[in-house]
Amino acid sequence: MVLPLAGCKGTLSTLDPAGPAAREIATLWWVLLIGATLIFILVTMCLVMGFRKPKTCRETDTQDVRVWIFGLGLGFPLTVLAALLAYGLVIGEALLPHQEPDLVQVSAEARQWEWRFGYADASERVTTDVLHLPAGRPVDVAITSTDVIHSFWVPRLAGKLDAVPGHVNTIRIEAYEPGRYQGLSSEYSGEGYREHRFVVIAHEPEAWERFLAGETP
């Protein structure tokens, strides 16, 4: 169990969330895992029962088999899958960038092989491969690309979203605490994409104001 559990922590772990969006995604992952495990166990039980050789064939035995095969073997998985689908739709709606007060807007422009970030509250500030944001506040990142398709992903803060040339996609991220978080491009975009990474720095309120004022963080 040590090797599988090692993926639950780390700078790029989706199971070690540091923000509300990442927390919802991690919760969805655990719910899907539990639901899939229950379905697997039940279907395996039905399969084993189907291969059992009955001592005598009675009408009640046939009815019991039908209950297991059709009622539990089909009805239960379909019910669980429908519930998981509904839950996934609810989570997806919650992750959409709805309009909120005190919202920070940032632009992210991808290219081979760097990320450039601009800030609506400080139009002259542009950073390369380092995204600055305030901790404890929602941030909308408008993502695009200048060449090929890339993918913006900060596993501990939010899900991933493609950077498409000539199109802008928006993702909302938020960090609970000040700190440094690793981001990367998770889309194959040519030789060298493995090193196409960036850093997210979440600032305390005072440090964020100093950054917007042009001071070096």
What SS3 class is residue 81? helix
Reported as a single tens digit per residue, the pLDDT across 102-146 is 788 999 999 988 999 999 888 788 999 999 999 999 999 999 999
pLDDT grade for 60, boundaries at 50, 70 and 90: low
Reported as a single tens digit per residue, the pLDDT across 165-216 is 999 999 989 999 999 999 988 877 778 777 889 999 999 999 999 998 887 6
For residues 139 and 172, the answer to whether their CB atoms sit within 8 Å is: yes
**Whole-angstrom Cα distance, residue 58 to residue 7?**
51
Q: Which residues are CB-neighbours of 104 under 8 A, at least 6 positions away?
A: 120, 121, 133, 134, 137, 138, 139, 140
DSSP code per residue over 154-178: -TTT--EEEE-BT--EEEEE--SSS
**Whole-angstrom Cα distance, residue 177 to residue 19?**
8
Task: Please return the burial class of 167, using the count of CB atoms within 10 Å of its CB with bins 0-12, 13-18 and 19+.
Answer: exposed
Paired with 183 in beta bridges are 198
Q: Cα Rg for the chain, rounded, in angstroms?
A: 24
pLDDT at position 103: 84
Indicate the CATH number of 104-212 among 3.30.70.870, 2.40.37.10, 2.60.40.420, 3.60.110.10.
2.60.40.420
